[in-house]
Amino acid sequence: MFISNSFALRPMNRIAGLVRLGCAQRWQSTVAVEPPPAGGHLTAVASSQLLRATRETALRTPGLTWFEEHDSGPIIGGRETRKMNLYQAVRDALSTALAKDDTAVVFGEDVAFGGVFRCTMGLAEEFGRERVFNTPLTEQGIAGFGVGIASMGHTAIAEIQFADYIFPAFDQIVNEAAKYRYRAGGQFSIGGLTIRTPTMAVGHGGLYHSQSPEGFFIGASGIKIVIPRSPLQCKGLLLASIRDPNPVLFMEPKILYRSAVEQVPVDDYTLPLSRAEILVPGTDLTLLSWGTPIYHCETALSILHSPPASLEPYVPPSLRTAKIELIDLRTILPWDVETVVESVRKTRKLVIVHEAGYTGGVGGEIAAEVQKKAFLRLEAPVKRLTGWDVPAALQYERFNMPDAIRILDGIIETLAY
């Protein structure tokens, strides 16, 4: 952090400040106020409409491709799904990869014991400890070993226990993994390398367990960065990452490991990398995010269209019918420029949401590219709603993140520009 004589942080957003002021006034009032429902007014991840709760919707996921040696086409009549949370979907993808690829190995700190988030439970017993094994506590060593074994033709699936501790491996990922094919003049490749790591805030992780470091790797040409939002997405994108001919950094939002639950196909399938998904079509504003904040965006849209009584004074009636296009970027590098720019040319306004800090965040790169390709179509400045430029908080961690209220405020400000 930097210290100066003046308070350097940006001022609190208008709605949040007004809401807190209103709360203080009501607290001091003697008028009885009916308490809010136990679940609050906001949509929870568990009840999100973005999750596919039925077999039929799961099997009709856009872009889903069945991975079979003798693919019979998109027939879904005999396909089955199973209810999974995100860590179970990771485990299912790893089991599929190990079963179908004899060269595949899974390694990292404590993975033979199931891992701290249970993503590798039972894999060592199922496939043997020569293929699923623990490593010393050395992130640089884990990434370096992955580069080496992938260069020998193996499918290397490494785990960095927390994304917060990926920085010791930065040199191996950026200077070795990303540059390997280029350095070899295309003769050799380590495309079989996938590095999994839990990322984003968990609510109480503090400085070393709640960071979102994807922006640090955005300039590393030669690697891909993928962040899924749900179990079904996670399994398909992880299998696609493992089979992609490039090294992939696969970052899993840790708070979703247990809170995101949906129906997931039990068969082997992939979802396309570097292709964003339009979750909610719209014409008045593009709302772009990835990972956990997707659900905060969904909640913000719900409040915009139907605000609770406490927020009604701050949501102009004329904006409540606005049609917002919600997009999940999914692949952060290389990102889907075409889909995002096409949406912005249609809606003429863009709001980007991510948990990482404002300065140096991925949102800045996206904003620059959109303004380059759609400048004359824009009717408002590109809005970035991010974590504050401070370390992840030890207390009140969620105030550091762009929550539904901050997102709502940004949407209203951009719509009214």
Which active-site residues does the annotation give?
A: 139, 209
> What value, to the nearest 5°, has the Cα angle with vertex 408 and ends 372 and 301?
95
Q: Indicate the DSSP class of residue 176.
A: I
At residue 105, φ and ψ (nearest 5 deg) are: -135, 150
Where do the DSSP E strands lie in 63-178?
A: 65-66, 81-85, 104-108, 132-134, 155-159
CA terminus-to-terminus distance, the chain: 32
Contact 89, 263 (CB under 8 A): no
Q: Which are the contacts of 346, defined by CB distance < 8 A and separation ≥ 6?
A: 283, 286, 325
Angular region, 319: left φ>0, alpha ψ -120 to 50, beta rest = alpha
Cross-strand partners of 261: 85
Contact 330, 275 (CB under 8 A): yes
Token code pair at residue 378: 């824009």
At residue 174, φ and ψ (nearest 5 deg) are: -80, -40
> What value, to the nearest 5°, has the Cα angle with vertex 171 and ends 3 and 291?
70
At residue 95, φ and ψ (nearest 5 deg) are: -60, -40
Which residue carries 């193996």 as its tokens? 154
- Rounded distance, CA 72 to CA 22, Å? 60
Strands 331-333 and 193-199, sheet pairing: unpaired
Give the helix, strand, coil percentages of the chain, each rounded to 5. 40, 20, 45
